Amino acid sequence: ISLESKLRRGIEQGELELHFQPVVSSGSGKIHGAEALVRWRHEGELIAPGEFIPLAEESGLILPLGEWVLRTAAGRARAWQDAGYRLGLSINLSSRQFTDQELVKLYLAVLADTGLEPGRLYFEITESLLMKEIDRAQHILGALRDIGGKFYLDDFGTGYSSLAYLKRLPLDGLKIDRSFIRDIESDADSRAIVEAIVSLAQTLHLAIVAEGVETTEQLGFLQGMGPMLIQGYLASPPVPAERFDALLRQGD
Ligand code: G
Ligand code: G
Ligand code: MN
Ligand code: NA
């Protein structure tokens, strides 16, 4: 039996799990939101998305998988809303999901089914996904934005966005790719690139999320560049929902 059949069955039989990585304020360390990251619990093993997302994309399983992620994430966000936390929750979108005609309808249905306040969910999209079909991307982003959808440009700095497009698209923030953060102490070029991205974001009124922050030294450099959001092992790795909720309560 092929991996594809196993994954199809796994999706149907509830073998997917969402883990949540906190996104915190660089100044206060307070939890501001989270990124939802999918895992596959199969035959006693927790399989990372790198090992099945590409297969899901090739086979089309990314559509049911993505729908499960969206519904499950919205359910968590609704639980946080009920508990009095106003968090932003991001989910990753593959290009196949993004160009699917049904995405806008699905997002509307999920909002109606969960009663989640619009504006809590952020869609993470990559530069290459957007730039591949810029006119269509602009149209879909516009339609989602009209019903409260928000957008982060993920892995920023590794793709090839035209700056003019950044202005044209209804983006809410940029996530600086972790390769720049990793070298921020040792490499003046990485530092300069991060500074340039931060100042670009300030000019365009976009939020900044620095990804892959692992050390207090890296955090120190970032704090010197102005207020931003931080994601990385220094604050917390991705954790199961119950653990994330415990972190939230600790921060009260
Ligand atoms: O969770 P991990 O740290 O291994 O994530 C690896 C990559 O898998 C992430 O960079 C992300 O782009 C991708 N990924 C994780 N969860 C999802 C998901 O729910 N949908 C899609 N399309 N990609 C995901
Ligand atoms: O969607 P994206 O590719 O940005 O997904 C984030 C990925 O980065 C996930 O695979 C997550 O597990 C990973 N990650 C999160 N924090 C850190 C970190 O501090 N260091 C490293 N190396 N990876 C991280
Ligand atoms: Mn991401
Ligand atoms: Na990223």
Region 168-190: what's the mean pLDDT? 95
Q: Which H or E run contains 123?
A: strand 121-126
Which of 17, 18, 20, 21 is the pocket-test mutation for ligand 2 (most atoms within 8 Å of CB)? Answer: 21
pLDDT above 90 as % of the chain = 85
- Ligand closest to CA 35: 3
Q: Is domain 3-250 annotated with CATH 3.20.20.450?
A: yes
pLDDT of residue 162: 76
- Termini Cα distance of the chain: 48
Distance from C-alpha of 74 to C-alpha of 91, rounded to nearest angstrom: 10
List helix spans (H) across the chain.
Answer: 3-12, 53-59, 62-82, 95-98, 103-114, 127-132, 134-146, 163-168, 178-182, 188-203, 216-223, 241-250
* Residue 52 structure tokens: 């099945």
- HSE at residue 50, side-chain half, CA atoms within 13 A, is 0
The span from the CA of 67 to the CA of 227, in Å, is 34
- Ligand 2 atom closest to the CA of 154, numbered from 1: 4
Q: Exposed, middle or buried, 134 (CB in 10 Å: 0-12/13-18/19+)?
A: middle
Cα(36) to centroid(ligand 1), Å: 8
What phi, psi does 34 have (nearest 5°)? -155, 160
Ligand closest in space to the Cα of 123: 3
Residues 147, 117 contacting (CB under 8 angstroms) = no
Nearest CA to ligand 2 atom 9: 37
What atom in ligand 2 is closest to the CA of residue 177? 4
211 C-alpha vs ligand 2 centroid, how far in Å? 7
Indicate which ligand has the atom closest to the C-alpha of 90: 3
**For residue 235, is pLDDT > 80?**
yes
DSSP 99: T
Averaged pLDDT, 148-159: 93
Answer whether residue 164 shows pLDDT above 90: no
Residues with CB under 6 A from ligand 2: 21, 37, 92, 124, 154-155, 178, 211-212, 214, 232-233, 238
What confidence category does residue 15 fall into, taking pLDDT thresholds of 50, 70 and 90? very high
**What pTM, to 2 d.p., does this model score?**
0.96
Q: What mean pLDDT do residues 173-179 have?
A: 96
Residue 159: pLDDT band (50, 70, 90) is confident
pLDDT at 136 over 90: no
Instruction: Please tell me which residue, 168 or 56, carries the higher pLDDT value.
Output: 56
CB atoms within 10 A of CB 46: 11
CA of 232 to the centre of ligand 1 (A): 14
For residue 93, pLDDT beyond 90: yes
Nearest to 90 by CA among 32, 25, 141, 7: 32
Assigned token pair, 83? 């508990």
Q: What percent of the chain has pLDDT over 70?
A: 100
Question: Rounded mean pLDDT of 195-208?
Answer: 95
Give the residue whose CA is nearest to atom 22 of ligand 2.
212
Q: Where are the domains of the chain?
A: 3-250
